[in-house]
Amino acid sequence: MQLKNYAVLIENNKILQELKKEFPFLSPVNLVDIYADQLNRNLYNHVLSHCNRLTELKKNINISDKDYFESLIAIFYHDCAKVLGKFVRNNISLKKILALQYGHSIAARRLFFYFDQPRMAHHLRHNSTDFVLDIANRRVTIPQLLLNVLDKTDISGKVVSVEEKYASILQKIGHHKEYDDFSEKIACKYITRVLKTNFNFREYEFLADQNIPSINVLFLQRFDGKYCPPIGKYKDTNSNLKIAEFLSRWGYNSEILHEGNFKKIAYDGSVKILGCDKNTIDDLLPIYVAKKDLVLTEGSTRRCKVISKIKPALSAQVLLLRTLATGKFSRRRACNALSADEVWVMTDEMKSIIEQSFNKYFGNNKKVPSVKVLQSGYDPKYFYVDEKIKRIKGKIVYVGAVSKIKGVDILLKSFKKVKAKLSYAQLHIVGDPYIYGYINKFDLSKLKKINGVVYHGVCSASDVAKHLKTAHVAVLATRIYETFGKAAQQARLCGTKLIVSKNGFLPFHVQSKEEGIVLDTLNADSLSAALFKILSEDPQTVPPPIDRYHFWRITALDFITHYNLLSRRVIQKLQRRS
């Protein structure tokens, strides 16, 4: 049977409908043509060999039609990322989805996660370390097993023994630092065992006992101002909850444990929000951490040391750093962070700060955790450019905690100067005095006494977006090192001009004169001068470059990719210890 015939067989499978709709060139029929164009047709022959051998197996053993068709899809797409380089160059969306720098196996899985096909994504796990982890956790699906059987007995369309394939892999990537020979040998032993037992599926204790093998995640977060409470008006700004929303579709069960009195079960029970006081959390950590595959400790390096001693051997711990108010990482925190398997931060700039701190404090004397970037996402349902909405001349918008460290006092002084000369100027403040778990001393009554100031308190994401879409300019001029500046991101996503201080990552959001102004020095004079400049002109909508930000779905894809690579390193570390 020719490869085109197999492509036609799966072309209209419902699993592929959304994928084909967004990327028509990735349909099975088109993939055949792409594979056929490759040098020496090695990939074409490789895929065809898999399909033919799978069909032969179906004649001899009990493979259900569903498993057969899902196995065919897995065969077609498990290596597709190897040939998509030219499409990625011209397609920013596909580039972010595939993230080819992580390897073809992960890229193919990301593709199916993106289209909410977690079972299909799991079938594609054929990296040997991943396969061994799934065996250890009884998470192997039948199509995944079949793909591994076929892939471990095939070299570019030539049927070989497991031993011959192992020798080929060793020669090809055995020198690579990420190569895991222990897992490769274990995977080969299991495939040999499967082949010797004639594919009697009832023999295999490692097969998954549910449709989507679940992974259990614990987000352990401090009560940290407006971005932490994961319910009510804050639910659309809580990063962990937005990530957990997508994880809930993809076979992950998440618990968000935080220092606050908020409790809720969401997304069909796959996300549990648990709130209690700090001491209770510390006392019950062994209970909360038990049976978790991944524990993310947000901010608290002290808890990293505790968790490292009580987490299960195969689980991973990540220190998640969203804020770095001083722009520095102290030695004490760095020492505690050594207990984490990895550190995840929000920007490349923050990554550089953490890595330089590790090098400064420890040099080559200690093995420090690697640092990864997990950029904050956004919700395209709210934050987008709408040319139909008219901007209001003179409308200034501030979104964030009402606090001196956020520069609100300077903003008010500047606004008084502006209002004295531009009568149409108005300042809209969205937020409250809560920051870092307490009410700061900012006196809200002062706002009511200033002509032209409108205080809205905490608003929903949709209302924040409405303010930004009608704003003449938005301001985020903080005194502290701003790690990312979510409010700045939201303003630029709505096409709003922006004034920011030169603190931390804020200049990232304003990269041209058309987008706004970056203040070299922060005081009432410099800010009022910037406001005069922008408010004296007619309001304009200036969209950000399309590749600057990505939405939460991509952040969640990066999350599972980071976890996938981390879980490999965890098992490799255990191997070295043994």
* Nearest of 517, 470, 527 to residue 496 by alpha carbon: 470
Is residue 178 helix, strand or coil?
Answer: coil
Rounding to the nearest 10 degrees, give the CA dihedral for residues 386, 388, 393, 395: -40
Is residue 425 helix, strand or coil?
Answer: coil
pLDDT of res. 227: 42
Provide DSSP, 351-419.
HHHHHHHHHHHHTTSS-PPEEEE------TTTSS--TTSPPPTTEEEEES--STTTTHHHHHHHHHHHH
State the angle between helix axes of 181-196 and 128-136 in degrees (0 to 180), rounded to the nearest 10: 70
Whole-angstrom distance, CA of residue 266 vs CA of residue 254:
10
pLDDT of res. 224: 47
Does residue 490 contact residue 378 with C-beta atoms inside 8 Å?
A: yes
Could you tell me the CA-to-CA distances from 303 to 16, 311, 333, 359 in Å, in that order?
43, 12, 11, 22
Whole-angstrom distance, CA of residue 459 vs CA of residue 128:
48
Is residue 273 helix, strand or coil?
Answer: strand
Q: Is the pLDDT of residue 335 over 90?
A: yes
Does residue 141 contact residue 212 with C-beta atoms inside 8 Å?
A: no
> pTM for the whole thing?
0.93
- What would the pLDDT profile of 395-410 be if each residue is shown by its tens digit? 999 999 899 999 999 9
pLDDT of res. 437: 57
C-alpha count within 13 angstroms, C-beta hemisphere, residue 281: 24
54: DSSP letter: H
Does residue 340 contact residue 317 with C-beta atoms inside 8 Å?
A: yes
Q: Which distant-in-sequence residues (6+ apart) come within 8 Å of 21 by Cβ?
A: none
Beta bridge pairs of residue 158: 155
- What would the pLDDT profile of 185-229 be if each residue is shown by its tens digit? 999 999 999 999 888 887 899 999 877 888 999 999 865 444 455
- What would the pLDDT profile of 92-101 be if each residue is shown by its tens digit? 999 999 999 9
Does residue 468 contact residue 399 with C-beta atoms inside 8 Å?
A: yes
Q: Is the pLDDT of residue 340 over 80?
A: yes
Sign of the alpha-carbon torsion through 184, 186, 188, 190: negative
* Nearest of 327, 268, 315 to residue 505 by alpha carbon: 327
**Which H/E stretch holds residue 532?**
helix 524-535
Q: Is the pLDDT of residue 267 over 90?
A: no
Whole-angstrom distance, CA of residue 215 vs CA of residue 247:
9
Q: Is the pLDDT of residue 126 over 90?
A: yes
